[in-house]
Structure 1
Amino acid sequence: MKIVIKIGGSVSIDEKGPNFSYFSRLLPILREIKRKNQLIMVIGGGKLTRVYAKSIEKFSLSDEEREKVFISLISANVNCLAALLKMKPIFSLEKIKNNTTGVIGGVVPGRSTDANGAIAARKIKADLFIKMTNVNGVYDKDPNKFKDAKKIDQIHFSDLAKLAPKGKPNKYGVLDRLAVETLSAGRIRTVIINGKSPKNLLKVLEEKKIGTIIY
């Protein structure tokens, strides 16, 4: 199977960098998945980029200049994860072929790591795209702000596109609009799960009911 897994920085990267405890639980599972499948990993910036963003917000930097800084920070996460999984870091989506494996992060300003993962998934004609985030799936509104937010178990890409924000650095949402449109165009089965428990990855592969399925 061809699988693209996006590890949300919200569950894996704290203000000091990669969370050792989290990756200690995640890596054995990823290595097992990698052994049996063609795998591309995608990783975000997490709290590290948010802390950095706050520290440079008073500088007179353009949005593009700031995002180039964030991409550099995410590249450190890419190199770290690639080394841990014995995979190649990928810094250009143009290099992705049908049989590519590796680790992706930020690539160009103005595009989220989710969108980069979606583009990679479409280029390899992935069977499955999994997004690991800090909530249990897609909700009708932000569950971190609204206690009455309702989880959506299944949703069509066209309906999700209406909920998905266009996004901006550090505020792209569960899946931004470009990621949704790209996955939809490639007809790639997508599952959004709570990534705080790495074992949820195995539940997806076992086709157990978990998270939100996007079709």
Structure 2
Amino acid sequence: MKLVVKAGGYLFPSEIDTGDIRRFAAVMRQLRSRGHDIVIVTGGGFKARQYIEAVRRLGGDEAYCDEVGIRFARLNALLLISSLGDDAYPDVPETLQRLRAYHQHGKIVVLGGLQPGQSTNAVAALAAETVGADMLINATDVDGVYLKDPKKDPSARRLEEVSVKDLMRIVLDEKVEAGGYKLFDPIAIKIIERSKIPTWILNGRDPENILRVVEGGKVGTRVTF
């Protein structure tokens, strides 16, 4: 299968845990060894949010904040490439055209942001569209989609499935600005909807969850059309 995996900011906290990155990379290598074709999109992580907030306080506009986030996401892509070693293509594509070219080499391709106005979730959706992915997996720091924030309401229940229209309603309740995207943003959802990309949102803190969902396990939340 062709897989696109979005590695959320949880993998890149204020103090980088190389053990977490190694565990994530080990699962990606395992998937590749089983014949899966993989593209990974990295988020900006804690440092990106920290710098974006500082830039905002210093007077930078949202487009400039996006540029800062893009650079951090690309740095995180380099971190992950370091851990993947020979399993990864050694460069970070900065355009979809380069993604197509690198993807032809049969190695794991890792990219970060592309251009202002797009979250890395939107980049992941575009990457899935570009390579004709069979599955898009958004590995985040929550177990899936909830109607209420599970970090604030312990009684919140995870949805096993959510329609793309309901997902849009949920994310429209969130504040969308540079560095603040969580589940998916409206642009990412529109891309998923137009190309009918099979999509799952799950907790990536246990990277084995990614293996489980690829193998057909009931993990996280599936987006339906």
TM norm structure 1: 0.91
Is the 8 Å Cα contact of residues 4 and 42 (structure 1) preserved in structure 2? yes
Query: How far off is 1:183 after superposition?
Result: 1.1
Partner of 1:168: 177
Which residue of 1 is the match for residue 129 of structure 2? 122
1:181 is aligned to 190
Counterpart residue number, 1:201 = 210
Q: Please state how far the C-alpha of 1:34 moved relative to its aligned partner.
A: 2.2
Alpha-carbon displacement from aligned partner over 1:56-101 (angstroms, at most 9, x marks no partner):
3431211111221221122111122223322241111233339825
1:42 aligns with 2:41: yes
What is aligned with 1:68?
A: 67
For residues 169 and 163 of structure 2, the distance between their equivalents in structure 1, rounded to whole angstroms, comes to: 10
Q: Secondary structure at the match of 1:5?
A: strand
Please point out which of 122, 142, 149 is paired with 2:149.
142
Following the alignment from structure 1 to structure 2, what is the Cα–Cα distance between the partners of residues 65 and 130?
28
User: Which stretch shows the higher mean deviation, 137-146 or 39-48?
Assistant: 137-146
Q: Equivalent residue for 1:212?
A: 221
Task: Please state if 1:33 is matched with 2:13.
Answer: no
* From 157, 165, 171, the counterpart of 1:158: 165
Deviates more, 1:35-44 or 1:50-59: 50-59
Contact in 1 for aligned 2:121/2:184 (Cα 8 Å): yes
Distance 1:96 1:34 in 2: 17
The secondary structure found in structure 1 opposite 2:100 is coil
Runs (4+) of structure 1 moved beyond 4 Å?
Answer: none
- Listed one character per residue, the Cα deviations across residues 24-61 of structure 1 (whole Å, up to 9, x for unaligned) are 22111111112311111011011111222333343121
- Secondary structure at 1:89 match in 2: coil
Q: Deviations over 1:11-35 (max 9, x none)?
A: 200114x421211221111111123
- Does the CA-based 8 Å contact 1:8-1:43 persist in structure 2? yes
Q: What pairs with 1:12-23 in structure 2 (closer than 5 Å)? A: 12-16=11-15, 18-23=16-21
1-side partners of 2:67 and 2:101: how far apart?
28
2:52 aligned residue: 53
Is 1:105 paired with 2:112? yes
Q: Work out whether 1:6 is the aligned partner of 2:6.
A: yes
The DSSP-based 3-state class of the residue aligned with 2:207 is coil
Matching residue's letter, 1:90: P
Q: Deviations over 1:97-122 (max 9, x none)?
A: 39825112111111100100101101
Inter-CA distance 128–98: structure 2 relative to 1 (3 Å threshold): farther
Q: Which sections of structure 2, spanning at least 5 residues, go unmatched?
A: none
Count of paired positions: 213
